């Protein structure tokens, strides 16, 4: 099952910065290793979209298709991210993305 979301470029780059921080965590248990594997898969997808957008900046929303488990992981990462790492504007952008993801997941 796949979920399609439209994400604005600023939110996409914010998600990538969250994934960069999450990607560097060392996994010890089986659950952590599975979670890290999914995080790396999501990181690769988001990074490819960031590179593609950087080559042709047009300001339009980017259509993003995710498998259900990756969409749930993205929702969890945005929900549990460090709120002090970003300003109010960035937190608002992530909150809007989180709300869109939640509507698609439910």
pLDDT digits (tens, 9 = 90+) for 11-59: 999 999 888 888 777 778 898 888 888 999 999 999 999 998 888 888 7
What is the pTM (predicted TM-score) of this model? 0.86
Q: Are the C-beta atoms of residues 75 and 15 closer than 8 Å to each other?
A: no
Torsion of CA 52, 53, 58, 60, to 10 degrees: 110
The confidence score (pLDDT) of residue 99 equals 93
The confidence score (pLDDT) of residue 41 equals 92
pLDDT band at 101 (very low <50, low <70, confident <90, very high): very high
The confidence score (pLDDT) of residue 56 equals 82
The confidence score (pLDDT) of residue 1 equals 85
The confidence score (pLDDT) of residue 44 equals 93
Question: Exposed, middle or buried, 65 (CB in 10 Å: 0-12/13-18/19+)?
Answer: exposed
pLDDT digits (tens, 9 = 90+) for 74-100: 999 999 887 777 889 999 999 999 999
């Amino acid at each position: 099952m796949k979920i399609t979301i439209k994400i604005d470029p600023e939110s996409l780059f914010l998600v990538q910065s969250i994934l960069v921080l999450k990607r560097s965590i060392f996994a010890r248990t089986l659950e952590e290793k599975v979670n890290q594997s999914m995080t790396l898969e999501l990181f690769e997808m988001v990074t490819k979209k960031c590179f593609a957008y950087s080559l042709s900046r047009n300001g339009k929303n980017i259509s993003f298709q995710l498998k259900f488990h990756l969409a749930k992981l993205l929702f969890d990462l945005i929900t549990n991210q460090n709120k002090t790492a970003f300003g109010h504007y960035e937190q608002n952008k992530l909150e809007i993305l989180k709300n869109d993801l939640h509507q698609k997941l439910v």
